[in-house]
Amino acid sequence: MSSDAPGVGEPPLLEPADPPVQEEPFFSRPLGKIFIIWLAMTTVGVLIGIFVPHHVMPTLLSHEATDVWRTIVLFTILAAPVAALVYSVAAYSLIAWRHRGNQDEPPEDGPPLRGNNMVTGVWLATSTVLVLVLLAWGLSVYSSDETSHPGTLVVDVTGQQWLWTFSYPGTGVNTRSLVLPINRPVEFDVTSVDVTHGFWPVALGVQVDANPGVVTVIRASPDKLGNFTVRCSQLCGLYHSFMYAPGAVVTKAKFSQWLQSQGASTTTAQAAALITKQ
Amino acid sequence: MTTDLAPALLEDTHLGPHAGGLYRRQNIWTGLAAGIGLGFVGWLVSHAALQGSNWGTDMVVTVTMVGWVVGFNVGVGTFNGPLRWMLGHDQSHEDELYAAGVGQGRKRYYKFCTDHKVVGTQYLALVIVLFAIGGTLAMLMRTQLITPHTDFLSANAYNAIVSVHGMCMIIATIIMVTGPFTNFIMPIMIGAKDMAFPRLNAMAFWVVFSAIPPLLATFFLGGVDAGWTTYAPLSVQAPPAMDAFSIALIVFAISVTVSGANTIVTILTMRAKGMTFGRLPIFTWASLIGAALSIYAMPALLIAFTSMISDRVTGTSFFVATQGGTGWLWENAFWIFGHPEVYIILIPPVGAMMEVAVTFARKPLFGYKVTVAGFVAISALSIMVWAHHMFTTGWAPTLAGPFMVTTEIISIPTGIIFLCLIGTLWKGRIWTRLPMYFVYLFLWNFIIGGVTGIYLSDTPADEYFHGDMFVTAHFHYTLLGGAMIAATAGLCYWFPKITGKVLNERIGKTAFWMIAIGIQVTYFGMFWEGFEGMPRRVAFYDPTFQPANDLATGGAYLLMLGWIVLLYAGINSVRNGPNATANPWHAKTLEWKVPTPVPLENFLVDPVVTSDPYGYGQPEPVGPPVVLPPHPDRELVPNISSDNPPAGGGE
C-alpha cells in the first residue's frame, strides 16, 4: 500500500521534521536478504538435480530409463525454488527474528498478521502452474511410453518363487537370463505361477507386477549396450532377496547368435532378430 | 493465575465403600488373566474340535486370539456399562465418579478409567512402548544390512520383522497424536469437561491395547512374511501368524473408528459457550478432520482383514486367483484404507505443531481459514489417490493418468500448509525453546519428503522407483521426519501440562541434534540405495549397495540413540524435574488457562469464549468484562476466556 509508505507526501510538521526516512536498499531489507538466501539455495538445488542423479543411478540402457532421469532432473529443478523459499524464510527467521534475551520468559508479541490474501493467491497460483507443468510432462511421457511400436519383440516373463524365466515366442527359447537386441522395442508379457512378484529390469526404467492368473504388459526401448539386473520388487516370501536374473542389451547379430546357442534354429533366430522397424 | 486453584473439589469427594461396583475389582491384571484364560479356553475347544482338518491351525489361532481380545476387555471392564444396561440398571453417579478415577491415585492409570486425561496418558505410554518395539525391530533390520550377507537374521526372521516393524509403526503413528493429545488436550482446548463418550473413550484405548499381543504373537506363529501390506496371495498362504496379524488389525480398526466417532461428536457438541467454529484452535480442526478421515478409511481395513481371515480359515477365495479371486482386490481394499491413513497420521500432528509455531513465534496463525481449507482439501483428495500405490501392478493402466492427476493436485493444499507455517514465522519473535526446534526440523524434513513424493506420483518415474528403497526413504521422511517430528514438537510443548513437570531442555536439545542428524544420514543412505536400484524388504543384497547401506545403518543407530536420550530426558524430568506452572509458554489456548495438574472435569466453572486463541500482538481487551455464570457448588472462579476480540484479520 503506497499510502502507508513513510515520509511520502506528508505535509511538513510544526517542528522541523527528521530528514525523510531513506528507504533502505532492497538487499538490506528482510525481503532482499531472504532473496539472496533463496537464490543461493535454489542454485544448489538445481545443481544437485542436474549433476547428482545420473551418478547414483546405474547406467541407463533404454529410452524409458532416460526419460526417468529427465523427469527427476526436471522435477528437482522445479521443486528447488519452492523448497528454497521455505528454507530461506525459515533460516532468515532464525537469524534475524530470533529472541535473544532471557530464554525463560517469552519475548514480546510479534505483529498481529493474520494472513495476506495477495501472498496466498500468488502462492496458490504458482503452485497450481507448477503442478500443471509436472502433469503435462508426466502424462505426455507416460503416453509415449505406453504406445506400442511395429516390429516389437515380445518376451514372455514368468515369475515364480524365487526365479525368473524368459521365453521368446516362436523360437522355443526358454532361459533364465534376459537378452535383448539394441534399438528394437520390446514388450514384456508378465505373469506368475504362484504369488505376486515385481518384474523390474532396473536399468530399463520400467517395472510391472507379475500376478498369478493374469498377463500384465510393459514396454521398453533399449538403446544402449550393456548389462543389467532383473530384480523382484514385491516381497514374495522367504528368498525374495535372491530373486534376480542377469540381463543384457546386445547387438542384433549377437542376439541372433545367442538365440541359436539357446537352441533356436538358425532361421527362426535370424527371423526373430532381424525384424526391424517397418 | 492458577496453580493455587487446585485441588479441584471432585477429587476430594469421598466415595462410599461400594462405589464403582465391579470396577473396584478390575484392572489391567484381571484383564490379562481373563484374556489369557478365555484365549486358552478358545484354544482348547477349537483344538479338540478341529484337530486333523486342513484349515484347523488357522481356525485355532483365530479363535484363540478372539478369545484373548474378548477376555481381556471383559476382564479390564470395557463392557461393564453395556452389561449393566442389559441387566436393567445404569451406573449411579458414584459409580461414574469411581470409574473416572476419583480417589484411586496412580492406580487409575492401570484401570478402565473414563477421565479423558487418564486415557490420554495411557495412550502416551502405549505409543512410547510401540515406538520402542518398532524401533528395536528397525535396529535389527539395519544391523542385518551392514554387510551384503550378514549372518545375523534368517531370511524368515527378517521378513517377519519387516512386517511387524511396519504395522507396529503404523499403529503407533496413527494413535500418537489422536491418542495422547486429542484425548488429553483437545477437550480442554474447546472448553469441555471430558470427551462426549467417556466410556467409549476408555474402551478405544483398552481395545487397541488388546491388539498388541496378537501382533507380537506373530513372531511365535511362524512370522508374517508378506510385509505390512500383506499382498495376497502370499499372505493367504502365510503361516498362522497371519491370522493373529489380521485379528490385531481388525481390533485396531474398531478402536480407531470408535475413537474417531468420539472425537467428532465431542468437537461438534461439547464446545464451550462462544467457541464457534471460527475460534476453534487449529489443532482441534486437525483432530476433527483426521477423525473424519479415519471414520472413512478404517472400515476398509476392517473389511480387508475380515476377508483375509475368511480366505484363510473358511476357504473363500476373495484374493486367490486360481479360485476366481484376485490379489488386486486386496491391493485396492488395502490402499483405500492405506492412503487416507497417511493423512490420518499426518494432519493431527501438523495441527499440533501449528499451535507450537504460533506460541513460539508469538504471532497469530497465518491464514487460519486457508489452513483449515487446506486440511479439508487434503482429506477430500486423499480418498481419491489410493491407486498411485498400484501404478506398477498392471491393474487398470488407463487409470494411471487420473490417479497421477489427483495425486499431484494434493501437493497444492499441502503447499498451503507450508505457506501458513512460514507466514506464521514471518516477522515473528522466534522463541527457540525445545518444541520450536522440532518445528524447524519438520519444515526441513517434510519438504524433502514432499519433493521426493512428487517423483513417485509421476507414473513413468514410479516405474523405476516403485518397490525400492527410494520409496522407503520417502515415506520415512514424511511419516517419521514429518509426522513424528511434529508430534514430538507437540509432546515437548504439552509435556508440562500432561506430566506437571518441566522438561529438561538441555538433555532434550542433545537428543534433538542426534535425531535431526540421524534422520538425514539414515534416509539419505536409503535414497542412495533407491537410486542404485536396491529393492525394499531384502535381507541380502548386491555388494554394490553396501556403502549406501552402511551409511543408513550408521545413521539409524544415531537416530535410535537420539530417541533413547529424549525418552531419558522425559523420564528424568517426570521423576526429578521441577513442577510446571499452569502456563509456562504464556500461550493463549484454553488448556493453559486451567491449573496444572488439571483437575477432574477440567474447569471449575464453565468457560465462556470471546475470541479466537491467537490474539498475539493485540492490545488487551477494553470491552465489557466476561460475566461468568453462577455455579452452585464451586467457589473458585478462574479467569477463563481468551482475552481479545478478533482483530478483523487480513483475510
A115–B535 C-beta distance less than 8 A: no
Q: Please determine, for residue B416, whether its predicted confidence score (pLDDT) is greater than 50.
A: yes
CA distance B314 to B575: 52
Per-residue DSSP letter, B482:
I
| CA nearest to B412, candidates A82, A204, A191 | A82
CA distance B54 to A108: 73
CB atoms within 10 A of CB A229: 17
Which residues have C-beta within 8 Å of that of residue B190, sequence separation ≥ 6?
B266, B267, B270, B271, B272, B275, B280, B281, B284, B590
Is residue B623 within 8 angstroms of chain A, CB to CB?
Answer: no
Q: Quick check: is B549 in a domain?
A: yes
Reduced to 3 states (helix: H, G, I; strand: E, B; else coil), residue B16 is coil
Q: Please determine, for residue B622, whether its predicted confidence score (pLDDT) is greater than 90.
A: no
**Cell 462410599 identifies what position?**
B16
Q: Please determine, for residue B511, whether its predicted confidence score (pLDDT) is greater than 50.
A: yes
Confidence at residue A24, expressed as pLDDT on a 0 to 100 scale: 77
Query: Which chain A residues in 66-125 lie under 8 Å from chain B, judged by CB atoms?
Result: 67-68, 71-72, 75-76, 79, 82-83, 85-87, 89-90, 93-94, 97-99, 103, 106-117, 119-120, 123-124
**Cell 519433493 identifies what position?**
B451
Query: Which chain A residues in 170-189 lie under 8 Å from chain B, judged by CB atoms?
Result: none
CA distance B373 to A120: 12
Compute the half-sphere exposure of residue A245: CA atoms within 13 Å on the CB side of its CA. 23
The pLDDT confidence band at residue A167, using thresholds 50, 70 and 90, is: very high
Query: For the purposes of burial, counting CB atoms within 10 Å of the CB of B386, is it exposed (0-12), middle (13-18) or buried (19 or more)?
Result: buried
Query: Do B89 and B131 have their domain in common?
Result: no
Q: Quick check: is B608 in a domain?
A: no
The pLDDT confidence band at residue B644, using thresholds 50, 70 and 90, is: very low
CA distance B424 to B445: 18
Query: Do B45 and B159 have their domain in common?
Result: no
Is-contact B473 B527, C-beta < 8 A?
yes
Q: Quick check: is B581 in a domain?
A: no
In chain B, how many domains are there? 2
Of B377 and B8, the structure prediction assigns the larger pLDDT to B377
Average pLDDT, chain B: 90
pLDDT for A101-123, tens place per residue?
A: 888 889 999 998 899 999 999 99
Query: Do B80 and B192 have their domain in common?
Result: no
Is-contact B497 B355, C-beta < 8 A?
no
Is-contact B584 B2, C-beta < 8 A?
no
Reduced to 3 states (helix: H, G, I; strand: E, B; else coil), residue B90 is coil
Closest Cα of chain A to B303: distance in Å?
A: 21
CA dihedral sign of residues B119, B120, B122, B127: positive
Q: How far is CA A256 from CA A189, A262, A268, A270, A275, in A?
A: 21, 10, 9, 6, 11
**Cell 535389527 identifies what position?**
B140
The pLDDT confidence band at residue A278, using thresholds 50, 70 and 90, is: very low
Cis previous bond, A162, omega within 30: yes
CA distance B366 to B364: 6
Confidence at residue A15, expressed as pLDDT on a 0 to 100 scale: 57
Is-contact B188 B602, C-beta < 8 A?
yes
Q: Which residues of B touch A219 (CB under 8 A)?
A: none
Query: Do B202 and B228 have their domain in common?
Result: yes
CA distance B609 to B593: 12
Q: Please determine, for residue A96, whether its predicted confidence score (pLDDT) is greater than 80.
A: yes
Q: Quick check: is B292 in a domain?
A: yes
**Cell 527371423 identifies what position?**
A271
CA distance B469 to B182: 33
Is residue B367 within 8 angstroms of chain A, CB to CB?
Answer: yes
CA-based nearest residue in chain B for residue A229 = B533
CA distance A186 to A148: 9
Task: Report ipTM (2 d.p.).
Answer: 0.89
Q: Which three cell numbers stand for residue A25?
A: 536498499
Q: Quick check: is B134 in a domain?
A: yes
Q: Which three cell numbers stand for residue A212?
A: 498369478
CA distance B563 to B39: 35
Domain extent at residue B213? 114-576
Confidence at residue B16, expressed as pLDDT on a 0 to 100 scale: 80
Confidence at residue B21, expressed as pLDDT on a 0 to 100 scale: 83
Q: Quick check: is B8 in a domain?
A: no
- Record the pTM: 0.91
- Of chain A, the percentage scoring pLDDT greater than 70 comes to 90
pLDDT for B138-178, tens place per residue?
A: 999 999 999 999 999 999 999 999 999 999 999 999 999 99
The pLDDT confidence band at residue A20, using thresholds 50, 70 and 90, is: low
Confidence at residue B315, expressed as pLDDT on a 0 to 100 scale: 86
Per-residue 3-state assignment (H helix, E strand, C coil) for chain A: CHHHCCCCCCCCCCCCCCCCCCCCCHHHCHHHHHHHHHHHHHHHHHHHHHHCHHHHCCCCCEHHHHHHHHHHHHHHHHHHHHHHHHHHHHHHHHHHCECCCCCCCCCCCCCCCCCCHHHHHHHHHHHHHHHHHHHHHHHHHHHHHHCCCCCCEEEEEEEECCEEEEEECCCCEEECCEEEECCCCEEEEEEECCCCEEEEEHHHCCCEEECECCCEEEEECECCCEEEEEEECCCCCCCHHHCEEEEEEECHHHHHHHHHHCCCCHHHHHHHHHCCCC
Q: Quick check: is B269 in a domain?
A: yes
Confidence at residue B650, expressed as pLDDT on a 0 to 100 scale: 34
Q: How far is CA A103 from CA B433, B474, B528, B584, in A?
A: 7, 36, 40, 12
CA distance B321 to B310: 15
Is residue B396 within 8 angstroms of chain A, CB to CB?
Answer: no
Confidence at residue A170, expressed as pLDDT on a 0 to 100 scale: 85
Q: How far is CA B176 from CA B194, B345, B513, B568, B643, in A?
A: 19, 8, 22, 18, 31
Query: Do B119 and B102 have their domain in common?
Result: no
The pLDDT confidence band at residue B642, using thresholds 50, 70 and 90, is: very low
**Cell 466476561 identifies what position?**
B626
Is-contact A278 A151, C-beta < 8 A?
yes
Confidence at residue A22, expressed as pLDDT on a 0 to 100 scale: 67
The pLDDT confidence band at residue A277, using thresholds 50, 70 and 90, is: very low
Disruptive mutation site among B372, B429, B536, B651 for chain A (greatest number of A CBs within 10 Å)? B429
Residue B545's CATH number:
1.20.210.10
Q: What is the average pLDDT across B546-567?
A: 97
Confidence at residue A275, expressed as pLDDT on a 0 to 100 scale: 54
pLDDT for B169-204, tens place per residue?
A: 999 999 999 999 999 999 999 999 999 999 999 999
Is-contact B308 B263, C-beta < 8 A?
no
B321–A214 C-beta distance less than 8 A: yes
Reduced to 3 states (helix: H, G, I; strand: E, B; else coil), residue B616 is coil
Longest pairwise C-alpha distance within chain A: 107
A153-274: what CATH class? mainly beta
Question: Of B82, B106, B130, at which residue does a domain stop?
Answer: B106
Which residues have C-beta within 8 Å of that of residue B622, sequence separation ≥ 6?
none
Q: Please determine, for residue B651, whether its predicted confidence score (pLDDT) is greater than 60.
A: no
Query: Do B102 and B120 have their domain in common?
Result: no
Query: Do B405 and B533 have their domain in common?
Result: yes
Q: Quick check: is B651 in a domain?
A: no
Is-contact B313 B58, C-beta < 8 A?
yes
Average pLDDT, chain A: 88
**Cell 498478521 identifies what position?**
A113
What are the domain boundaries of chain A? 24-97+124-147, 153-274
Query: Do B46 and B135 have their domain in common?
Result: no
Confidence at residue B479, expressed as pLDDT on a 0 to 100 scale: 96
CA distance B601 to B288: 21
Is residue B586 within 8 angstroms of chain A, CB to CB?
Answer: yes
Query: Which chain A residues in 243-272 lie under 8 Å from chain B, judged by CB atoms?
Result: 244
Q: How many residues does chain A have?
A: 278
Query: Do B146 and B266 have their domain in common?
Result: yes
A113–B444 C-beta distance less than 8 A: no
CA distance B473 to B234: 25
Compute the half-sphere exposure of residue B624: CA atoms within 13 Å on the CB side of its CA. 3
Which of B164-173, B307-316, B603-612, B638-647 has the weakest average pLDDT?
B638-647
Give exposure, A130-143, as e/b (b: 16+ Cβ within 10 Å).
Answer: bbeebbebbbebbe
| CA nearest to A131, candidates B341, B399, B416 | B416
Closest Cα of chain B to A270: distance in Å?
A: 32
Query: Do B279 and B243 have their domain in common?
Result: yes
Reduced to 3 states (helix: H, G, I; strand: E, B; else coil), residue B441 is helix
Is residue B650 within 8 angstroms of chain A, CB to CB?
Answer: yes
Confidence at residue B149, expressed as pLDDT on a 0 to 100 scale: 93
Per-residue 3-state assignment (H helix, E strand, C coil) for B26-54: CCHHHHHHHHHHHHHHHHHHHHHHHCCCC
Which of A71-80, B1-10, B501-510 has the weakest average pLDDT?
B1-10
Which of A29-43, A143-157, B42-56, B200-214 has the weakest average pLDDT?
B42-56
Query: For the purposes of burial, counting CB atoms within 10 Å of the CB of B318, is it exposed (0-12), middle (13-18) or buried (19 or more)?
Result: buried
Closest Cα of chain B to A67: distance in Å?
A: 8
Q: Please determine, for residue A238, whether its predicted confidence score (pLDDT) is greater than 80.
A: yes
Which residues have C-beta within 8 Å of that of residue B625, sequence separation ≥ 6?
none
Is residue B409 within 8 angstroms of chain A, CB to CB?
Answer: yes
The pLDDT confidence band at residue B130, using thresholds 50, 70 and 90, is: very high
* H-only helix segments in B479-545: 485-499, 505-532
pLDDT for A172-184, tens place per residue?
A: 889 999 999 999 9
pLDDT for B204-249, tens place per residue?
A: 999 999 999 999 999 999 999 999 999 989 999 999 999 999 999 9
Radius of gyration of chain A (CA): 30
Reduced to 3 states (helix: H, G, I; strand: E, B; else coil), residue B395 is coil
The type of residue at B477 is: Y
Is-contact A205 A68, C-beta < 8 A?
yes
CA distance A117 to B131: 41
